Structure 1
Amino acid sequence: MSAPDLPFDPATMPMGTLGERMGLVITEVTPDRIVGTMPVEGNQQPYGLLHGGASVVLAETLGSIGSALHAQTLGKLAVGVDINATHHRAARSGLVTGVATPLHRGRSAAAWDIVITDEDGKRVCTSRITCALVDGAQIGG
């Protein structure tokens, strides 16, 4: 199944205000791999390093897209319930790239592993997200 065969195409969907402000770009979408980039510039903390929260935004976006793709196959929606991140090294410039791969895709939950690297391929952050898969009627109530 490729992205154009899906009810929505995550590669061309708007990132929403936060993702757009952070410069997130989705570069690859398959059921087994979601890839995106984000610039370090504009997403830094006061020391000039990539903000850890920015890494988490990238990770959550990629894992959520993967979970949403899986949820669609079940007629459900994906909502985040847990995310964690380990920051391994600083990124000071350029782009960081996140690659999300599935850890678990069940009927009621999906979990994704996200590895974020710098332009030299060095690991900046490792994250994991778990999403609950729910009926649309359960959201917003």
Structure 2
Amino acid sequence: MAFDKEKVLALCNAFSENTLMQTLNIRYVDAGEDFLTATMPVNPSVHQPMGLLHGGASVALAESVGSAASMLYANHEKEEVRGIEISANHLRSKREGLVTATARIIHKGKTIHLWEIRITDEDDKLVCLCKLTNIILPKEQ
């Protein structure tokens, strides 16, 4: 079956309704067979007290895009995705604008997926570099 980018993006954005992703205004904007990209606006709703992008918001963006990317490889009728480990290096601060997170697969096993998620600003400068490990589990009946 051919990869359908528009269908993937519509699905990812639809399952984000009434979740943290909707609260943070995360939108899935690009997809390919080995990557998924989402954006998040940087404004006071994702700031820490110093007026900068909160590291937790960056991590939430990274885990959202990396977990959704793993779902692209899972059998939705029989399997579920769970994040089991995430690390983040916050490299640049940001006060306003838009950040873009792109998850790229590093390892795709039967039960473990390892993703690198790069969060960049509008000038493609690296804001945060994350690594996410997901486990693929059988759905509970």
State the TM-score, normalized to the length of structure 1. 0.88
Instruction: Report the aligned-residue RMSD.
Output: 2.1
Deviations 1:56-102 (CA, angstroms, capped at 9, x unpaired): 00000000011111122894221111111000010111000001100
The aligned counterpart of 1:23 is: 25
Segments of 5+ residues of structure 2 without an aligned counterpart are none
Percent of aligned positions that are identical:
37
How many pairs are equivalent? 137
Distance 1:3 1:16, change over 3 A: farther
Shift of 1:120: 1.4
Q: Secondary structure at the match of 2:99?
A: strand
Segments of 5+ residues of structure 1 without an aligned counterpart are none
Shift of 1:129: 0.7
Matched AA of 1:70: Y
Matched AA of 2:63: E
Matched AA of 2:80: L
Q: Secondary structure at the match of 2:16?
A: coil
Distance 1:52 1:76, change over 3 A: same
The aligned counterpart of 1:36 is: 38
Shift of 1:29: 2.5
Matched AA of 1:25: R
Distance 1:30 1:88, change over 3 A: same
Q: Which aligned pairs between 1:1-141 and structure 2 lie closer than 5 A? A: 1-3=3-5, 9-41=11-43, 42-72=45-75, 75-137=78-140
State the TM-score, normalized to the length of structure 2. 0.88
